[in-house]
Amino acid sequence: MAILTLDHVTKTFTDSKKDIVAVNDVSIDIADGEFLVLVGPSGCGKTTVLRMIAGLESLTSGEIRLGGAVINDESPTNRNIAMVFQNYALYPHMTVRENMRFGLEESTDISDADIDRKVRETAELLDISELLDRKPKELSGGQQQRVALGRAIVRDPAVFLLDEPLSNLDAKLRAHMRTELQRIQEELGVTTVFVTHDQTEAMTMGDRIAVLNGGELQQVGTPLECYHTPANQFVAEFIGSPSMNFFDMEVQGSRLISQTVDGRFEYPISDETREAIDERTEVVLGIRPEDIDVTEDADGFHTFEAVVDVVEPRGNENTIYLTFDSDTKTPETFIVTVDGFMQISAGQPVAVHIPEDAINIFDAQTGETLRHRILTEDLSVTST
């Protein structure tokens, strides 16, 4: 059962010159207790979606329902929704304790003793008990982040909205806060919409991911569904790092012919793939870096000669940039990830095996997925 529903939600801002459609016909059902990550590049409408849910921005059209009731016209304070902003927005002249008490004093009529207890408990949960008498300027970024979170938690809301809450933290603290936030959310069981532009946060934190681009919803699914069965080329490229490799291919009978490297990458396709392509004459072949095998022998089926351009060792694995076209000074490369112990160096000729099970085919014009990799596992199951 959905506790929070966005039903054909659209937001148009009217500038002096033109209309900007910031959010275009977005529908998402969010389940009670779910951790939904709303992800997409900067400017795609993420903050606008959150602000509409919080009641800080009106809808141009559509409906938002909380627990079944339409809340379009409800004031922010009556929504029982707490939002944590990217810049924390703490009151600088107040102590941590006062910052956390403030929202409660304003919006509820619970007793002073109860407020104290709630603040104490929340501070413990967030491990900031020692900081209660400090002012925000005496805190590190990570501590301020926790206080901002605490201010939302004490209100005991039905829904948390978090707008890029980790983006101002350094890499190590960010990774730590990722797991902390998941622990806290699980402990509280509060329905959460978490906004980020970082696909790693989306993959690691979400029960489900909603991918947004240009105000339009691209896909909603578990992290693994979005990763292995992307709805289109945008999702395929956005989710995963290093990104999926793409090749522009011309369809000739039961072969896909690379448009850029003359004769050196011609990919035979099965009847099933051929059927998925239908009448199209141009498609994009997509393959993830870990799905390409580097071998010695170029004689096998779906195996091609290539040359190593650059090797980036990462310890546990190597990121290898390969090219089909070693004649050019700045060749077009594709990425393969291999075991960190594999001995491989720039300039080396190799063979790459691109198994048909693992390829994705996209419509060259619309980006729509025509076939994704073949899967045996059920990806709809969430990790929690």
Residue 62 binding result from ligand ADP, Mg ion, none, given CB thresholds of 5 to 8 Å by partner type? none
Shortest Å distance, C-beta 88 to Mg ion: 14
Q: Which stretch binds ligand ADP (CB under 6 A): 39-47, 199-207, 235-243, 312-320?
A: 39-47
Q: Which residue has the tokens 């970082």?
A: 198
Question: What gap in Å lies between CA 222 and CA 208, rounded to an integer?
Answer: 4
Residue with smaller CB distance to ligand ADP, 13 or 91: 13
8 Å CB contact between 154 and 99: no
Q: At what angle do helices 112-125 and 96-107 cross, to 10 degrees?
A: 130
Shortest Å distance, C-beta 88 to ligand ADP: 16
Question: What gap in Å lies between CA 258 and CA 242, rounded to an integer?
Answer: 22
Residue with smaller CB distance to ligand ADP, 42 or 343: 42
Q: Which stretch binds ligand ADP (CB under 6 A): 46-54, 304-312, 346-354, 358-366?
A: 46-54
Residue 48 binding result from ligand ADP, Mg ion, none, given CB thresholds of 5 to 8 Å by partner type? ligand ADP
Residue with smaller CB distance to ligand ADP, 9 or 184: 9
Please state, as a whole number, how many other Cβ atoms lie within 10 Å of the Cβ of residue 372: 19
Strands (DSSP E) found in 123-173: 159-163
Q: Kindly list the strands in the beta sheet with 159-163, ordered across the sheet, starting from the edge strand earlier in the chain.
A: 81-84, 159-163, 191-196, 35-39, 208-213, 216-221
Indicate the length of the chain as a whole number.
Answer: 384
User: 61: phi > 0 → left, psi -120 to 50 → alpha, else beta; which?
Assistant: beta
8 Å CB contact between 260 and 248: yes
> Does the footprint of Mg ion cover residue 258 (CB under 5 A)?
no
Please state, as a whole number, how many other Cβ atoms lie within 10 Å of the Cβ of residue 292: 23
Query: What is the residue type of 248?
Result: D
> Does the footprint of ligand ADP cover residue 43 (CB under 6 A)?
yes
Number of chain residues interacting with ligand ADP (CB under 6 A): 12
Among 28, 30, 36, 45, binds ligand ADP (CB under 6 A): 45
Shortest Å distance, C-beta 105 to Mg ion: 29
8 Å CB contact between 8 and 27: yes
Residue 20 binding result from Mg ion, ligand ADP, none, given CB thresholds of 5 to 8 Å by partner type? ligand ADP
Kindly list the distances between the CA atom of residue 323 and the CA atoms of 78, 92, 217, 351, in Å, as whole numbers in the listed order: 58, 55, 34, 11
User: x-or-dash pattern for Mg ion, window 24-53, by CB under 5 A?
Assistant: -----------------------x------
Among 8, 13, 93, 295, binds ligand ADP (CB under 6 A): 13
Kindly list the distances between the CA atom of residue 172 and the CA atoms of 138, 142, 165, 317, in Å, as whole numbers in the listed order: 21, 11, 15, 20
Among 16, 42, 330, 343, binds ligand ADP (CB under 6 A): 42
Q: Which stretch binds ligand ADP (CB under 6 A): 41-49, 58-66, 298-306, 361-369?
A: 41-49
Shortest Å distance, C-beta 206 to ligand ADP: 16
Shortest Å distance, C-beta 162 to Mg ion: 11
> Does the footprint of ligand ADP cover residue 47 (CB under 6 A)?
yes
Q: Which residues bind ligand ADP (CB under 6 A)?
A: 13, 15, 20, 22, 40, 42-48
